[in-house]
Each structure stands twice: as C-alpha cells, then as structure tokens.
Amino acid sequence: MTDKPLFTTMPELPVVPLPASGEALGSWVWAIARTYGLMPGTYLRRLGIPHRWVTKEIHRDLVIRPLPSVMERIQADTGVAPEVLRRMTFSGLDRDLEEACHYHHLPCAACVDEASRRAGRPVGLLHAWAVWRVVCPDHPPCPKPRDVAEGLPLAPFYGQVRTIITFLDRAAFDPRAFEGIVGTRMAPAFTVAAFVRFVFVLNTYLSVRVTEFDEFRDLAGFRIRHAFSRNEVGEPVPLPPEERNDPAVSLVLAWQLVADPMRTLLAGLHTANPVRRKTERDAGQFMALVGLLLEFWPGEMLSLLLTGHALSRRDWSGDGVRTGLAIAATDQWSNDPSHSARLAEAQWNHTAWTRVLFSDAIRSRHAGWRSRFPIDGPFQSGFVAANTKAANLVGQARRDTWRPSQDERTGLGRFLAKPAPPIREKHPNPRAPTPERQAPAAAPVIHHHIVQAVQFALDAQGPLPTGKLRARQRRAVLRKLSAAAVRCLNQEAWREMADAAPHRVSTSSRKTR
C-alpha cells in the first residue's frame, strides 16, 4: 500500500476485511460476504446487483467498467478510499484493450497461493485478467531448450521481462506512455493493445532462438528458427503449437523491435544461416519478418532505413563497402572480435530489407488497412495494420474503428443497455381500429382428425333440419352430433393403439369390450 490513507470515511459495516495487495474487487466482495456468513448473491443484492445479473462472469464484470452506483455502495459499506477501490478494477482502460481483457483470464498459481497465504483467506488477483501479462514476471516459466542458447544467463533476461511488464502495467492506463519510448511523432501508432497483439502475432508466425544477452545494454540477440509459410491463395499459415516460442521470448523480441528497432533488425536478429552461407530459406525468413513488421511499424520507422545517410556506402577498414546504417548499428561492437561478422550480417539484413520492401509481392500483400494475420487469443476483432502508413493516420484509423462500438456496454452495464419498454396508458376514448390499422387475423389450424370426426358426425346424422328449431330440439341435435364425433375419435384412437401394439387384438375381443 502507499502512504495514502486506506479508509477515508466511517464504514457502515462493523467489520471490514483488509484488501490484499493486487486483489481484484470481486474477490474482496466475496471476502466481505464470507465475513458475515452470507452468500455472495445476498451481499451483491445489497450493492444493487439483482440476482439475474449474477452470472459466471460476475468477477470479470466487477473489475471491467464497474458501475458507479456499485462502487459508491461498496465505499459506503467499507469506508475504503475511492482511489483504493479504483485500483482494484480496470477502470480507465482503452476500449480495445478492455475487450481483450474480457477474453483473458490466466492466474499465476504461485502468486495466488502466496497472496492467499498472506491474507489468510482465498484471494483472486486483478492481474489475472491483464492481457498484457503474457507471463508472470515474478514466476516466469522455464524456457524450452530450443528457445535459448546453452549457457545463456537467464536472470538478466527475465529481469528484462519484468521491466517490460512493469512498463505495460503503467502504460495500460497512460495513453502517452509510449512517447518516452518512440517519441511523440510515432506514439499515435503505439498502444498497449497494439503492442500485445504484435507479441501474439510474433509468437504465432515466427520462432526464434535467443543466442546472447548483453547485460550492460539489456539487449538480446536472436536467430530465426522457423517462419510462417503461405498457402495456395497467399494466406499466412500459423506455426504448429509445438514450434512456437515461450511467450517471454516473443515479448522481449517485440519490445526490442519497438524500443531499439534499427539495432535489433540489423544487428540483433538474424536468419538461420550466417553470411556467405545464406540460402533461399534465409531470404524467405526475412521476407516473412518484413511482412510481420509492416503490421506494426508505422511509415516513420521505415523511413529510417531508407534515408540518404542510412544508404550511404563506404569502405570499412578494407572489409568491403557497407551502408552507413549497418556501420552505425554495429558500432558498439567495434572493439569486439565478432565485429566483422556482425557487420556482415547487418549489411546483408539492410540490403535484403531494401530489396524486399520495394518488391511487388510486399506491395500487393500489404495494400489495405486490415490485418492479414489472424491469431488465436483474446483479440477477437479485426486489427488495423500500419502497412507503411504514417503514425498519425494509423492512430486515427484505429480510433475510427473503435468509435462505433463505444456505445456497446460491457461489464454490468450490459444489463442496462436495453431498458424496459415504457408503459403506455390507455386513452379514455380509444378510436375504433380502421381496416388499414387492424392487424390481419391469423388463420386457425384445424387438425385432420377433427375434420374427420365432424364429417363422420354429419354423415351419421343425415340431412340437418332446415326449419327454425326450438332450444330443446337444438340441444338434442347437438348431443347427437357430439356423440357421433366422440365415437369416431374413440375408434380412431383405438385403431392407433392396436396398430402400435406388438400383437393385434382380435375383432371379437374388441366387440366384447
């Protein structure tokens, strides 16, 4: 907790359990109900939540767009400061990030056990719904042997993972957080939702191996293992699940492609084979990488690779002509024995990037706005890809896409989206319905056995009297017709029963009965 007071008003309840650090609002409401021996639904009704609103998503509904009336009622009951209650919810998330959190619930068992042990009761943590926490920063999973090189220091690598997730925890509620990473000019194209979707795209379509990690610069080196292929119609085919990286690896790669894009692309990410042994497989991997980057990188990032200084060529100590950007990207390794190999890799990447970016295949596949890389996960709606557009245009297009759905209520507010129809009082002198306003009467459905019974009764009666009958005579005719109709229906029912029986009943036994 911070130095701010936990309680700001006198609570109406005599005993209030203290909220655990990072606890979700729904978990705390359940703890209050258990304190007084109540069923959760009983206490929720006190908060103004009807029984029909309590569904299996009630814990999610209490943390995503909570109703102000419910928050006020909880504050009055417990006396807890409104700011503390707000931190127990996801109030203030962007619409696209909020929708992704709807379909994400991945609690860390170790964190839940530790929080429950400290509180002395079951605790549900708010970050279980945080879609940007692709892994738990405190309990990261052990990497697969094929994902990291042998002897790679894992402690600084997972320290980088914690740094990234800490930034995303803040950026999820601060739309301008990315300005400090990419600058104000490119920041409109970067949101937490777009970044996390980029992580999912990389994890689905690109498999890499972490070959090194520079602890001084917090910079990892990667080599591509597998890249996606395309089917007959040109659609990208996702990698098999067993070939995909651990999400932490994709998270660090995506972060470096945002925070230090040029150095990562040219000197930190390489294809499968080294220089002078490149094959068609390497060219295909790099083309796949470019296709993925065009999903996320705005046009300003692409221009950094194509400026006059970046493409200027000069000899590097008699080692051949290199581009200015390749030399700048590998400058930090100038005194390292591996500098020559790194410079050659950077030169190959820069040349391949320029060649691929101006190819007809890239222009034809990335002409529109919509993403062509579907992913399995919490992002259900279509994504507006950058596709070489400027950052401000990309940001505006994404806002325009979400604006029509702003009125769609989520959380408990969805139950208020369709108000009850107003009650219309009847006019004291209603007008008689005209033929135009009168609703057409529906034709009655008469079953076949009823028609058959009526026909049988009329045949048994013979010609009906045409003259005026007295009441006694009318009743006698109706009784006779009814008896004939009932006899016909009984015979038909008996015939159906006899046909359905396994052994037919003889005619003599029917007459006896």
3-state secondary structure 381-435: CCCECCCCCCHHHHHHHHHHHHHHHCCCCCHHHHHHCCCCCCCCCCCCCCCCCCC
Could you give the dihedral angle defined by the CA atoms of residues 98, 101, 102 and 106, in that order, rounded to the nearest 10 degrees? -170
Q: What stretches of 262-306 adopt beta strand conformation (E)?
A: 269-270
pLDDT at 388: 82
Rounded CA gap, 196 and 150, in Å? 28
**Long-range CB pairs of 102-110, under 8 A, 24+ apart, other chains included:** 102/60, 102/64, 102/378, 102/410, 103/377, 103/378, 103/380, 104/129, 104/130, 104/131, 104/377, 104/378, 105/60, 105/129, 106/133, 108/136, 108/138, 108/139, 110/136, 110/138, 110/139
Domain 25-129 has CATH 1.10.260: yes
Contact (Cβ atoms closer than 8 angstroms) between residue 204 and residue 239: yes
Q: What is the pLDDT along the chain (513 residues), one digit of tens a residue?
A: 456 788 888 888 888 999 999 999 999 999 999 999 989 889 999 998 888 888 888 888 899 888 889 999 999 999 999 999 999 999 888 777 888 888 888 999 999 999 999 999 999 999 999 999 999 999 988 888 899 998 888 999 999 999 999 999 999 999 899 999 999 999 999 999 999 999 999 999 999 999 999 888 888 999 999 999 988 888 899 999 999 999 999 999 999 999 999 999 999 999 999 888 999 999 999 999 998 998 899 988 888 887 766 777 765 555 556 788 888 888 888 888 988 899 999 999 988 888 887 777 666 665 667 788 888 878 866 788 888 889 999 888 888 876 655 545 567 767 775 554 444 445 555 555 555 545 555 555 566 667 777 777 777 777 777 777 777 877 787 778 777 777 777 777 667 666 655 544 444 444 444
Strand order in the sheet with 269-270: 206-214, 219-227, 269-270
Q: How far is CA 303 from CA 252, 308, 434, 454, in A?
A: 24, 10, 72, 89
- pLDDT of 513 reads 40
pTM: predicted TM-score of the whole model, two decimal places: 0.76
Q: Measured between alpha carbons, how far is 389 from 391 in angstroms, rounded to an integer?
A: 7
Alpha-carbon distance of 352 to 224, in angstroms, equals: 15
Q: Give the residue among 349, 301, 294 at the shortest CA–CA distance from 326.
A: 349
The per-residue pLDDT for 438 is 53
- CB-based contacts of 110: which residues, under 8 Å, 6+ apart? 136, 138, 139
Domain segments of the chain as ranges: 25-129, 154-411, 450-460+471-497
